[in-house]
Amino acid sequence: MNIAYIRVSHVDQNWDRQLEAMKPYEIDKFFKEKTSGKNTDRPQLKAMLEFAREGDTIYIIDFSRLARNTRDLLRMTDSFVEKGIGLISIKENFDITTPEGRLWLTMLGAFYEFERTNSLERQREGIALAKARGAFRGRKKIGFPENWEDVYSRWQRREIKAKAAMKELGLNQTTYYNLKREYEQKQQSAQAASAGA
């Protein structure tokens, strides 16, 4: 089957231009949606990916309809290749079933890896420079809220559940349990010091 995925970013936009561009390709099924392409969590995109089978070809007007970043695009095209599904981007004149398309994918993967390595390197260099200036402190440590002891005591006496305690303290689950562990370790250390005195 020839499958088309059509997306516009805003509800006030229409997809007439994309539909017109698909006419020469004898599309059997359309998946259309009006939503941002900032991530791949899109209902019609998911439906299309579940619907497509080996031997099908997916048509898009350009890569930005499918994905907004190289990582997501590579992940999807790799998935298509594995499942034996074709992908044709009309604007870029790109077809992953051809030798040229597979070469382009390889180059895109290498470019993404190069981009990622450079980004990590710049991040490390920036941290090193900030440390040298004494400006880097890492992630700011979250301290104990003022009502910690009261809420913790009530939780320990089973008067409230952990979720209620988190809500009262304004903490998420990870932070709550990290602070709980730290608090209990401090208590144990204080008890040990008191016993040894």
Residue 168 to residue 145: CA distance in whole angstroms? 10
Query: Which range (39-53, 78-92, 98-112, 179-193) has the least confidence?
Result: 98-112
Residues 6+ apart with CB under 8 A from 122: none
Please write the tens of the pLDDT for every residue from 50-69: 999 999 999 999 888 888 77
What pLDDT does residue 135 have?
63
Q: Average pLDDT of 98-105?
A: 78
- Domains in the chain, CATH or no CATH each: 2-109 (3.40.50.1390), 148-189 (no CATH)
pLDDT at 139: 58
Q: Please state whether beta strands 94-95 and 57-60 pair in parallel, antiparallel, or not at all (unpaired).
A: unpaired
9 as an active site residue: the answer is yes
pLDDT at position 98: 84
Up-side HSE of residue 147: CA atoms within 13 Å toward CB?
Answer: 10
Active-site option among 9, 153, 189, 194: 9
Q: Are strands 86-89 and 94-95 parallel, antiparallel or unpaired?
A: antiparallel
Over its C-alpha atoms, the chain yields an Rg (Å, rounded) of: 27
Q: What is the pLDDT of residue 28?
A: 96
- Residues 176-188 have pLDDT tens digits of 888 888 888 888 8
Torsional sign, CA 139, 141, 145, 146: negative
Tokens found for residue 194: 């008191």
Quick: pLDDT tens for 127-170.
Answer: 777 777 776 565 566 778 888 889 898 988 889 998 899 998 88
More confident residue, 104 or 168: 168
